[in-house]
Chains A and B, each alone.
Chain A
Amino acid sequence: MRSVTIKRKHDLYPYALLTPAVAGAVAIIFIPMLFSFVLSFMNYVLHRPQDHAFVFLDNYRRALGDGVFRIALRNTFIWIVGVIGLQVSLGFVTALFLNRRFAWRGLARALILIPWVTPSVITALMWRFMLDGNTGIINDLLVRVGILQEYVPWLAMSSTALPAVMVALMWQGFPFFAVMILAGLQAIPTELYEVADVDGAKTYQKFFRITLPLVMPVLLTTILLRTIWVANSLDIIFIMTGGGPGYSSYTLPLYSYIRAYRGLDFGYAATIAVYLTILLIALITGYVVKVLKSEDMY
């Protein structure tokens, strides 16, 4: 009888430990999320309390006919694919470099984390100054080496504003990929490379047949995490361009923010946020399905 009681206590112990975290998550994440979801079905312009009402799917239909929403949606895809692509590429090259033996390797591994630990606000302001069309150091350097004939207002042209912000976020985020991929590289048994050498495999064959497949699980998980973060990030865009010029650097979270806090249209802003959530859920579902299939293969 006593052993049964102790067992029950032990059964409840994990739940007791989890309760504060779950309660916190419910209070500060799930309830606001639920409230946002409800808001997305409402006409909820903050300064018109007399007009607050349920409009069901009107906001969702309105978004589909909204030209700015379509620009923001397109930019969100470009933003995610571009930033993640750049971060993966630079992160992979950096990880391969850091995996080799060279003097001061420990210091290099530590320094590479500086962009990652730099707050987004600082990163955004720093890149804004560097890209300044009148006094920016990047223009200065490019003119001095002869690549440019005159200064380019990177953040004032719709063709270059979003790419310029993407470069800034690439700089901030690539160390995360580098560190994660480096951890994956170090887990690969060296015997595999030795066997490949014996078989006469070339460098690119070793990379595509050994390195890449074995790093892939880490890489996919990292890409998934970063995709969610990058998709939701708006601070760097907001500080560097404010979404402009025009709507050229609007992404969905930025558009949602601007509708909420500049237009005070919280209902429509919530609808945009729900669309973004649906987009991210679709991406995550695709990832989970892929992982489950690959596990079945083994």
Chain B
Amino acid sequence: MKRVFIVGVVLLIGIGLLFAGGAREEPVRTVEFWYHLDDPEARLDPLIEEFEAQNPDIRIDAQHVPWDAYHERLITAVAAGNPPDAAQVKLWWQPQLVELDALQPLDEYLAGWNGVDDVFDRIWELTRYEDGTQYYMPLQMVILYMYYRVDVFDELGLEIPETREEFLDVAATITEEIDDMYGFGIRGARGGHDYWGTFVLSSGAEFFDADGNVVLDSSEAIEANQWYIEMYREHGVSPPTTPADGFVEVIDNMLTGRTAMTIHHIGSARQMHDQFGDDISAFVVPAGTEGRWTSFGDEQTAILATDPDVQDAAWEWISFLATAEYNQMWNDISGQVSINISNEDVDYGEIQRFLEVTTASADYAGVLPAHPEIASFVESTWPAEMQRAFEGEITSEQMMRNLADHFRD
């Protein structure tokens, strides 16, 4: 009898504590957030701590995912019905994520958010989906430009090239005049479509016409592509390893003095400056026959959660990351440029010159078209066809026809 009494008292106290706790504390919502930073040692901890202090009912479970596997992991997680609640995303994944009905439209949230006007208009334009819906929240401004060796230009008395012809002359001069140095490091492997776009999409090549027909194999596109192929095959201004050169090789070639120019964004500026000091700088990519085009190597955030409560919590997190103070913190960690107008005057110190070129390039920044096949174009079709063309296995015309068929099929 005594034992029954004790058990009864313990149960009553336990139930009482349970209800008392429930009445005092709000339920904590956890937002699983996938992200990637080029520097594997960089951490989001300061941002998360600040956010959680401001939002005690939300916990951020941030998971770093390697870029190489990011796209496949994200899409398979969505298809398996187990996506992260929010994620850092790229524009060319957007059509696939829309097809999978994985993205939460942000328009209603944005209508009540007071930070809209502090984000550059151009970024809203570039990130808005083709049907006018805003699924992506701007996060960082990644615009590609041309790195160049100031000392090499000075030594040879070269001017910064404005057009692709001038650029080719400069690259050829460097290749000819300096032993073991090539004028331009072309990225021929995966990810090199940004380089290709700079010269081909600025010279008359387009993916689709106004009616949505594929026109990648138009005579203008074939000619522009031929010019690009000849830079490597005929003029030899890029190292012989070009067809296999990916990000690591292209940056290594620049850092080791194997090449004098290459295309990348401000994410490499610190490394370049550490290696060359004032002997490295940057300029806006040269103009093609139809003007300039550079890649908006974007990264945004999006909400993928299906639970409305978690969606709201995810919105709190991604809008926090887009507000000026915290967006600058994010970009200090990622090494990129803030999307906020009020951060325009932030001093980047010794790499300020690269920030200025990034801003100057914004007017020419473009994105690949929103098409469900654009991801596989970037991931596998473009690299394979480009490498075949560089190798001389196929002509420019065959390459562009194969690229066009990728979208026609």
Contact = CB atoms under 8 A, between A and B. Distances in A.
A198 to B, nearest CB: 59
Nearest to B244: A156
Interface string B98-124: 011000000000000000000000000
B99 A47 contact: yes
A158 interface: yes
A241 B380 contact: no
Interface stretch (B167-175, B313-321, B330-338, B381-389): B381-389
Contact of A246 (B252, B375, B393): B393
A211 B221 CA distance: 64
B236 to A, nearest CB: 13
A244 B243 contact: yes
B384 A247 contact: yes
B379 A263 contact: yes
B346 interface: no
Contacts of A264: 72, 75, 96, 375-376
Instruction: Determine the interface band of chain B, counting residues with CB < 8 A from chain A.
Output: 35 or more
5 contacts: A47-B75, A151-B240, A246-B388, A261-B72, A263-B376
A161 B239 CA distance: 17
Contacts of B393: 158, 246
Contacts of B245: 156
A293 interface: no
Those 6 A-B pairs whose CB atoms lie nearest each other, nearest first: A246-B388, A156-B244, A245-B387, A133-B241, A47-B96, A262-B379
A146 interface: no
B189 A244 contact: yes
Interface string B368-397: 000010011001100111011011010000
B244 A153 contact: yes
A157 interface: yes
A242 to B, nearest CB: 7
A246 B252 CA distance: 23
Interface in A138-162: 151, 153, 155-158, 161
Given A242-B190, A244-B189, A134 B241 contact: yes
A242 B189 contact: yes
B384 A243 contact: yes
Contacts of B190: 242
By secondary structure, the B interface counts as: helix
Interface string A123-145: 00000000011110000000000
Interface of B: 72, 75-76, 79, 96-97, 99-100, 188-190, 239-245, 249, 252-253, 256, 258, 372, 375-376, 379-380, 383-385, 387-388, 390-391, 393
Given A244-B189, A258-B380, A46 B76 contact: yes
Contact of B391 (A155, A243, A245): A245
Contact of B240 (A49, A133, A135, A161): A133
A42 B348 CA distance: 53
A134 B258 contact: yes
A186 to B, nearest CB: 44
Contacts of B243: 153, 156-157, 244-246
B358 to A, nearest CB: 29
B71 to A, nearest CB: 8
Contacts of B244: 133, 153, 155-156, 161, 241, 244-245
B100 A262 contact: no
Contacts of A248: 391
Interface residues of A, number: 30
Interface of A: 46-49, 68, 132-135, 151, 153, 155-158, 161, 241-248, 258, 261-265
B26 to A, nearest CB: 36
B384 A244 contact: yes
Given A68-B384, A153-B244, A161-B244, 14 more contacts: A46-B79, A47-B97, A48-B372, A134-B241, A156-B245, A157-B391, A158-B388, A246-B384, A246-B388, A248-B391, A261-B72, A262-B376, A263-B380, A264-B376
Given A47-B372, A242-B189, A262-B376, A156 B79 contact: no
Contacts of A48: 99, 372
A263 B241 CA distance: 26
A245 B390 CA distance: 9
Contacts of A49: 79, 99-100
A134 B239 contact: yes
Contacts of A247: 384, 388
A46 to B, nearest CB: 5
Nearest to A68: B384
A243 B387 CA distance: 11
Contacts of A245: 188, 243-244, 387-388, 390-391
A245 B188 CA distance: 9
Nearest to B249: A134
Nearest to A261: B72
A47 B380 contact: no
Contact of A153 (B75, B241, B376, B388): B241
Contacts of A135: 256
Nearest to B379: A262
Contacts of A246: 243, 384-385, 387-388, 391, 393
B96 A156 contact: no
A156 B242 contact: yes
